[in-house]
Amino acid sequence: MGHIHEVSVREATAQDREAIAELMLEAYSQYAAVMPELSWKEYSSSIRESAYGDRPKARIIAEIDGQIVGSVQLFLSSEAAYGKPELGIESPIIRLLAVSPNARGRGIATLLIQESIRRSLELGASTLNLHTSDMMASAIQLYEKLGFQRAYETDIDNGDHLVKGFRLDLDQLQFRQNAVS
């Protein structure tokens, strides 16, 4: 029998930032082929900058054998996440969920989202938000499976494509958890 490698989830440290930037770029590079070149350059630059910026409330990483294989950032508002207070989101938002292509299919994205949900509940939030686009079809399937629903009023049209808003109602989630226990 092969050795099962356990995934651990923890808060990132400042020393993890370059590895997180590389991981996010590796994970998102598959979209370079379907984006206009200038858009990809801007997107990849913003991805790298986000690994070093001070706007996230939390940077959560997943590791296997000490190697970072996944990450997600948790922001407290649409202003912090996107510089867009006009979206009116004053609750946690997850951004830049990334899993190394070599580690996909192991439930790492789900673990990172579950940790984001746990932290959002700790903060007393009633919703957890995210944004994605149709080119990320497998991500959308996962979000919907985990209970996220479209939040049309938070959609962003960035010119190239529609960035769709999704929201998870944590109050309903809490109710379901309490009903089960």
pLDDT in tens, 23-48: 999 998 877 777 767 777 888 888 88
CA atoms within 13 A of residue 81's CA, in its CB half-sphere: 27
**Domain extents in the chain:** 7-180
pLDDT the model gives residue 35: 73
Rounded Cα distance between 68 and 38, Å, is 29
Q: Which residues of the chain have pLDDT under 70?
A: 1-4, 36, 160, 174-181
Q: Which CATH number applies to 7-180: 3.40.50.11540, 3.40.630.30, 2.60.120.10, 3.40.50.920?
A: 3.40.630.30
- Please state the pTM of the whole predicted model: 0.88
CA 87 to chain centre: 18
In three-state secondary structure terms, 127 is: strand
DSSP letter at 134? Answer: G
